[in-house]
Amino acid sequence: MNTYQDLLPVATEAVRRAARAMRQGSPGVLTLKGDRDVASELDFAIERDVRAFLAAETPDIGFLGEEEGDSGRADLRWVLDPIDGTANFLRRLPMCAVSLALVHQNNPVLGVIELPFLSSLYTAVEDCGAHANGQRITVGGVSVLKDAIVAVGDYAVGPDADAKNAMRLALAAQLAARSQRVRMMGSAALDLAWLAEGRLDAAITLSNHLWDMASGVVIAREAGASVVDRHGNAHDSTSQETLAASPLLMPAILHLYQSAAAEVAAAA
């Protein structure tokens, strides 16, 4: 079996194929997945192309895609979000990404994220550091919340959206009162990549899917970020939330999250 580092060129080529398709293609027919949640024809086309490419290059590794699910082994598998930020992509907003990770059991060990309309390629392999366009990157050094720019994930849609958004609204209010600025980009992969590069100081996502988070988690970690769940435990593929920040800032982020959670519980 190849080492994870040996698999990075294959993963990078798979992501570049997908990014070219995003730049050159059109969304095509839209498929309604749920309330205010759609997938484009291009989402499906990219996922099928990357699945076929990786099956040919790495036949012993399984695959999980957002749109069409699992194939092959589950203990070691590629995990793809073909277009992370589809809503942005459909409106020609450049904050969207291709996100591919290699996940061993519950631990992401390799990640590649490309921002096709922002000329940025992020890569990381466990214990080998994180890079943006080939240059080593590290998280920023902000240590106090009042100086921090914090990205938060999208508001929920679909069933129970109002209940789910109670926590998001409480969290946004806490951040608005205490951080320098709050940002909502619409792509979890982009949030974590920009955290790794020091453009953001923290990123919080409250509804996790493996394809949304896995590549960004390994890139952020390899850049020196602390990435945990809402209890402060190390984040893995079973975590329901993602809190990521520089180690110096993480205690403040955890405290703020817990304060927002207590506020929501008291109001219930």
Query: How far apart (Å, rounded) are the C-alpha atoms in residues 199 and 112?
Result: 18
Dihedral angle, C-alpha 184, 241, 201, 79, nearest 10 °: -80
| Burial status of residue 3 (CB atoms within 10 A of its CB: 0-12, 13-18, 19 or more) | exposed
In which element (H, E) is residue 87 found?
helix 86-90
Is residue 90 within 8 A of residue 97, CB to CB? The reply is no
pLDDT for residue 68 is more than 90: no
How many alpha carbons lie under 13 Å from residue 165 in its C-beta half-sphere? 9
Question: In terms of Cα–Cα distance, which of 37, 54, 38 is closest to 46?
Answer: 54
Least confident interval from 23-27, 91-95, 158-162, 227-231: 158-162
Instruction: Tell me the pLDDT tens digit for each residue of 69-90.
Output: 787 788 999 999 999 999 999 9
pLDDT for residue 36 is more than 80: no
Q: Coil, strand or helix: which one is 81? A: strand
State the pLDDT at residue 32: 79
Proportion of the chain above pLDDT 90, given as a percent:
82
Instruction: Tell me the pLDDT tens digit for each residue of 111-160.
Output: 999 999 999 999 999 999 999 999 999 999 999 999 999 999 988 887 78
- Residues 73, 188, 59: CA angle, nearest 5 degrees: 20
Question: In terms of Cα–Cα distance, which of 206, 192, 102, 213 is closest to 139?
Answer: 192
Confidence of residue 33 (pLDDT cuts 50, 70, 90): confident
Instruction: Tell me the pLDDT tens digit for each residue of 200-232.
Output: 999 999 988 899 999 999 999 999 999 999 999
pLDDT for residue 18 is more than 90: yes
Segment 2-22 mean pLDDT: 95
State the pLDDT at residue 1: 44
